[in-house]
């Protein structure tokens, strides 16, 4: 593909170096049984095991706990994690971590659990005002002062890729906005990934988390090239979300091909173990990729779609309060965004669609926007995803508030392949209201 060769051109003063940071990964059936030995090798003696209440009743928590105890470790379980974490749920987890005086952490769950564990480890290791480490402009964006305690992350949804990234996301309740903390120091020391943990997930959870993976890969692949940033004064100033780069491209393309083959199967047939296994591997590949490149506008827009929710309650999720699951809040924006960004790197949009299974043989650059948007819409329809931002309860009257929330996500917006203004965001939400 010409796009792959021409996308990275350094000019005078621009970045010429990309970096690769990944967690140590162990992937496969039965891997949770090995946790104890890994934890010991990482120097853990007294371990906080983070999970949620639903998972606690499933066998994986005891499997993991047994392995840790068999290795001679002291284990305390924390299961108060919220499905969509908030600053308050992070602080409660941090209090548990401070009081327990742990020297290591193990998390078992979806992105919410892994993210909560990252935050607890951070605030227990380097106590600070809560907003100090939170991304600017919402927080002060201060760097994490030093290494955290070792953390073994064990994902149970084929989605967030949080086990491979240095990012943690939460709702800041006072501002009704989702934001996060981003630092290489937050990346778990190790990931233990057993695809069998996804076999019992409801259809909607597989769909939402699968589209989260898909958008990680597509956003990462179409992100602004790393060579378009100014060269940093010193290596430590090189951002973790460094933009598209040749390393991340490998994981994105591989993940997109797997998603094209297995996403619909994994969602629509709970007994299709092969499809669910492959989805978990796609999530891992996309996590490794976007952890080194960053996502852009669909994720930037997702935070207000999730944060301003009024009454949407999807099947398969806890029914105690309205929510738009993360992957759903991302993908409802995606066709609109990729129509907007296609002109910046049309070859990458066409190649992304081809990886997902679209017919692109006679496509010209002018077709890029519709080919990719069309492929996404087709896959959304086939897996029961709501029809755009309108499908999760929003209308024209909400556009200004949605755009204002997304505009605060500058870390993500500046990673897009073309500039995005606040009024562009409004138009992108309008174009995302309905797709069919
Ligand atoms: Fe995501």
> On the CB side of 187, how many CA atoms lie within 13 Å of its CA?
21
Q: Which residue's structure tokens are 């259809």?
A: 203
Quote the pLDDT of residue 5. Answer: 59
- How many angstroms does the Cα of residue 359 sit away from the middle of ligand 1? 27
The domain locations on the chain are: 2-18+201-432, 30-193
How far away, in angstroms, is 157 Cα from ligand 1 center? 12
pLDDT mean over 255-270: 97
Q: If pLDDT is split at 50, 70 and 90, which confidence band does 244 have?
A: very high
Helix, strand, coil shares of the chain as percentages rounded to 5?
A: 55, 10, 35
User: For 370-420, what is each residue's pLDDT tens digit?
Assistant: 999 999 999 999 999 999 999 999 999 999 999 999 998 888 999 999 999
Phi-psi region of 290 (alpha: psi -120 to 50; beta: other; left: phi over 0): alpha
Q: What is the DSSP code (8-state) at residue 395?
A: -
Answer whether 2-18+201-432 and 30-193 agree in fold: no
Query: How far is the centre of ligand 1, averaged over its atoms, from the C-alpha of 183 (Å)?
Result: 16
Residue 159 has pLDDT above 80, yes or no: no
Range in 85-89, 149-153, 156-160, 329-333 the model is least confident about: 156-160
Task: Provide CB contacts within 8 A for 311, sequence distance 6+.
Answer: 322, 393
Burial 253-292 (b: 16+ CB within 10 A, else e): bbbbbbbbbbbbebbeebebeebbbbbbbbbbbbbbbbbb
Centroid of ligand 1 to alpha carbon of 287 (angstroms): 9
Q: Which of 343, 382, 375 is nearest to 359 (CA)?
A: 375
Tell me the CA–centroid distance for residue 328 and ligand 1, in Å.
10
- CATH class name, domain 2-18+201-432: mainly alpha
**The CATH classification of domain 30-193, taken from the options 3.40.50.11740, 3.60.15.10, 1.10.3720.10, 3.40.50.1970:** 3.40.50.1970
Q: Say how many Å lie between the CA of residue 324 and the centre of ligand 1.
A: 13
DSSP H helical segments within 57-192, as ranges? Answer: 59-70, 87-100, 111-125
pTM: 0.92
Report whether pLDDT(204) > 90: yes
Please give the span between the terminal C-alpha atoms of the chain, in angstroms, as a whole number: 32
Identify the three-state secondary structure at position 360. coil
């Amino acid at each position: 593909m010409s796009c792959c060769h021409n996308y990275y051109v350094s000019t005078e003063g621009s970045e010429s170096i990309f970096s690769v940071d990944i967690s140590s990964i162990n992937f496969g059936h039965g891997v949770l049984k090995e946790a104890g030995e890994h934890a010991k090798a990482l120097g853990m003696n007294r371990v906080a095991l983070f999970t949620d209440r639903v998972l606690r009743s499933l066998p994986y928590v005891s499997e993991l706990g047994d392995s840790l105890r068999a290795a001679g470790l002291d284990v305390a379980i924390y299961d108060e994690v919220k499905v969509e974490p908030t600053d308050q749920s992070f602080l409660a987890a941090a209090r548990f971590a401070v009081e327990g005086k742990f020297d290591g952490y193990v998390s078992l769950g979806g992105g919410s659990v892994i993210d909560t564990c990252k935050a607890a480890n951070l605030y227990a290791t380097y106590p600070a005002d809560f907003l100090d480490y939170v991304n600017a402009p919402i927080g002060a964006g201060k760097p994490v002062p030093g290494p955290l305690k070792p953390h073994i992350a064990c994902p149970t949804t084929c989605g967030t890729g949080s086990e491979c990234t240095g990012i943690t996301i939460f709702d800041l309740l006072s501002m009704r906005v989702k934001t996060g903390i981003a630092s290489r120091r937050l990346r778990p020391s190790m990931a233990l990934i057993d695809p069998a943990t996804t076999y019992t997930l409801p259809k909607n959870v597989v769909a939402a988390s699968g589209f989260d993976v898909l958008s990680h890969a597509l956003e990462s692949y179409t992100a602004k090239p790393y060579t378009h940033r100014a060269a940093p004064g010193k290596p430590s100033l090189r951002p973790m979300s460094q933009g598209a780069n040749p390393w991340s491209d490998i994981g994105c393309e591989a993940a997109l091909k797997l998603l094209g083959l297995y996403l619909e199967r994994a969602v629509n047939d709970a007994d299709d173990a092969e499809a669910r296994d492959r989805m978990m591997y796609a999530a891992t590949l996309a996590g490794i990729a976007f952890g080194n490149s960053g996502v852009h506008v669909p994720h930037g827009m997702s935070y207000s779609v999730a944060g301003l929710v009024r009454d949407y309650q999807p099947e398969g999720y806890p029914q105690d309060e309205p929510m738009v699951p993360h992957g759903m809040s991302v993908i409802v924006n995606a066709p609109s965004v990729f129509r907007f960004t296609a002109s910046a790197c049309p070859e990458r949009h066409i190649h992304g669609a081809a990886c997902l299974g679209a017919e692109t043989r006679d496509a010209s650059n002018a077709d890029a926007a519709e080919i990719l948007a069309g492929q996404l819409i087709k896959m959304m329809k086939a897996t029961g995803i709501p029809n755009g931002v309108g499908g999760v309860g929003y209308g024209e009257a909400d556009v200004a508030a949605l755009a204002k929330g997304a505009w605060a996500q500058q870390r993500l917006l500046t990673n897009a392949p073309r500039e995005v203004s606040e009024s562009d965001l409004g138009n992108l939400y309008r174009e995302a209201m309905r797709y069919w």
